[in-house]
Amino acid sequence: MPVNRLALSGALAIVVAGTAAVVLWRRSHEGTPPQVGQPPSSAPVAASTAPSPRFTGWSDPAGVGRPYGDKVPGLLTFRGNPTRTYYGTGPIPRTRPTEKWAFPRSGAMCSTSVDEHGPSEWCGSGWTGQPSVFERNGRTWVVFGAYDRKVHFLDAETGERILPDFPTGDIIKGSVTVDPDGYPIVYTGSRDNYYRAIAIDREVPTELWKLSADAVSPTKWNNDWDGAGLVIDDYLFEGGENSQFHIVKLNRGYDAAGKVTVAPKLVFNAPGWDDQLLADIGHGNVSIENSVAIVGDTVYFANSGGLVQGWDISGLKAGRAPTRVFRFWTGDDTDATIVADEQGMLYVGSEYEKASARSKEVGQMMKLDPSKPDSPLVWKLDDRPRTPAGVWGTPALYKDIAIFDTTGGDVHGVDRATGTVRWTFHLPSGQVWQSPVVIDGTLVIGDCLGDLHAYDVSDTTKPPTELWTMKVGGCIESTPAVWKGRMYFGTRAGAFHALAA
C-alpha cells in the first residue's frame, strides 16, 4: 500500500490521557506447537450432543465460521472473528437489490493525504475498509473509517448519524473493531500515526487512548495501521506498518459515572522481520498490513517482505512472554489476512511484485500446516500472468472450498484438502482487491468498475451461477459487511452504500 512517513520529533510513547506508560517485555521462553481443532466439514461446525472438554486457550478452533463471542450481536471486526472466517448473516438477496440509503447525502468523503508520490486526493473507502455492524441498545449501528479522515457512526436502518464523526489526522484505510465483550469501545488506526480506542457511550465519541507507531523500537517502513485489532480477554493484539507486532493489556472498566474507561499497558512487542528476511529481500519494506489471526494459542500475521509468523501466546496471562513457533517465507508482499480453519491450517494469499524465485516456488495462493514447521506447504497455486499479480483480498472459507480472488480479476474455488481448482470465473475490472464474502451459499464480490456481483456457490463442485449484478459506481476495494441480509460498503467514488432486497 502507499507510503506515508510522518516526520515526528522525539520518541512518542503510549498515551493514556496524556501520560506516558511503561512498555517493556522481552522474549525469553520456548513455544509450543499451535493447538488444532476438529477436522473441516461441509457445513458449519454443529454443537455436539456429547459433553466435550471446555476449551481453555485463546481462540477455540471450533469457532471457525462463527460469530466473535456471544455478548455483542454483530460483525465486529475484519472477517468477523479471531480466525477471520465469519462474514455476517443473511439472507443475501437472490435477485438484484435496491439501494436503501447512501452516505453522505450530498458531496463525498474526501481528503488530501501524502504518500511517496506526493499529495493527492483520496475519496470514499478502500482496502480493507470493512465496516462493523452491531446491535446496541435496541439499535443497529454501522461504524467505519474512511478517506475523509473520520470514523462514522451511522444508524443501519436510515443512514443517519448516531454520533458525530470522530476526526483523525489523516486517512483511515483499515477496518474498525468493536469491543466483543460489550464495552462501548471502537478500536481503529489512522495514517496519522496512531491506533486508538474510542468510547461511544457519550454524546460525542471520545478518545480514551492512543498508541503511537513510534512507541516501540526499532521500527521500519511506515506509521499507518491497516490491520484490524483483535480483543480477547482484555488483551488487544495488533500489527502495524511500523513493522512491529503489539500486545496491549487494556484494563477496561467503568468510572463512577458509569462511563467506560481503559488503562492500557503495552506488555509485548516484537519485530515483524528477522535478519534472514532482510538478507533475502534486500530492502526494508516489512510493514504488517494484514489483520492478525488467532487460532488455539497461536497468533499469526505476515508482512510486506512475505514473512508469515506464528507466536505462541499460551503463557501470556501467566506472565510468560510470547515466543515464535512458526516461520514461512512467501517470497513477496503478503498483505492479505491469514485465515485459519478448524484444524489450525492456514490459507495465505500473497502478491507477485518482485518476481522472486521464492514466489515462483511457493505460489501466490497456499495452504500451510503449522504443525509441520520444517515443511508446512500443503499445496500452492500460481497467479503470475503479469507483474504485478497475485492476491490482495483475504480468502473466504465455505464448506470444503477456499475462495481466492486475484488482483487481475480471477475468482477461484479451491478444494481445501487437495488444492485442486474446482472452478474459476473472471471479473473484467482490471483490479480486484476486495475480500470475497459468502453466506448461505451466496457469494458477494465487487470490482473496480463499480459493480457488485452475487453468485450461487451452494454446490461447491459446480461453477457458480451469477444471480445479479448491480452498478454502484466507483471502484469497490472495501469488503462489504452483511448483516441480516443488508449489505454495507464504501467505494472510491466517495460514498458509502446500504443495499437490501
DSSP state for residue 385 in the 8-state scheme: S
Looking at residue 35, its pLDDT comes to: 30
104 has a pLDDT exceeding 90:
yes
299 has a pLDDT exceeding 80:
yes
What mean pLDDT do residues 1-13 have? 40
Looking at residue 50, its pLDDT comes to: 65
Dihedral sign, CA of 272, 275, 277, 279? positive
- What pLDDT, in 10s, does the model give residues 253-268? 999 999 999 999 999 9
Looking at residue 70, its pLDDT comes to: 95
146 has a pLDDT exceeding 80:
yes
Coil vs helix vs strand at 361: helix
Residue 362 main-chain phi, psi, to 5 deg: -105, -5
Q: Which three cell numbers stand for residue 50?
A: 456429547
Average pLDDT, the chain: 92
Looking at residue 430, its pLDDT comes to: 74
What mean pLDDT do residues 448-475 have? 98
Looking at residue 23, its pLDDT comes to: 31
Strand partners, 271: 244
- What pLDDT, in 10s, does the model give residues 480-500? 999 999 999 999 999 999 999
- Domain ranges, ordered by start, for the chain: 15-46+58-500
Coil vs helix vs strand at 127: coil
410 has a pLDDT exceeding 60:
yes
- Residue of 188, 196, 159, 155 lying closest to 172 (CA atoms): 188
Residue bearing cell 435496491: 98
CA 445, CA 174: separation in Å to the nearest integer? 18
Element housing 278 (H / E):
helix 275-281
Question: Secondary structure of the chain: what % helix, strand, coil (to 5)?
Answer: 5, 40, 60
Q: Domain 15-46+58-500: which topology?
A: Methylamine Dehydrogenase; Chain H (2.130.10)
Residue 318 main-chain phi, psi, to 5 deg: -90, 5
CA 190, CA 275: separation in Å to the nearest integer? 29
Strand partners, 347: 339, 367
Name the pLDDT band for 323 (thresholds 50, 70, 90). very high
- What pLDDT, in 10s, does the model give residues 63-79? 999 999 999 999 999 99
CA 206, CA 277: separation in Å to the nearest integer? 40
Looking at residue 274, its pLDDT comes to: 98
Q: What does 184-200 look like in DSSP terms, one character per residue? A: SEEEEE-TTSEEEEEE-
- What pLDDT, in 10s, does the model give residues 348-395? 999 999 999 999 999 999 999 999 999 999 999 999 999 999 999 999
- The sheet carrying 139-145 orders its strands as 74-75, 132-136, 139-145, 150-155, 161-167
Give the percent of the chain with pLDDT over 90: 87
Looking at residue 49, its pLDDT comes to: 58
Q: Which residue has the higher pLDDT, 177 or 47?
A: 177
CA 282, CA 172: separation in Å to the nearest integer? 29
Looking at residue 53, its pLDDT comes to: 83
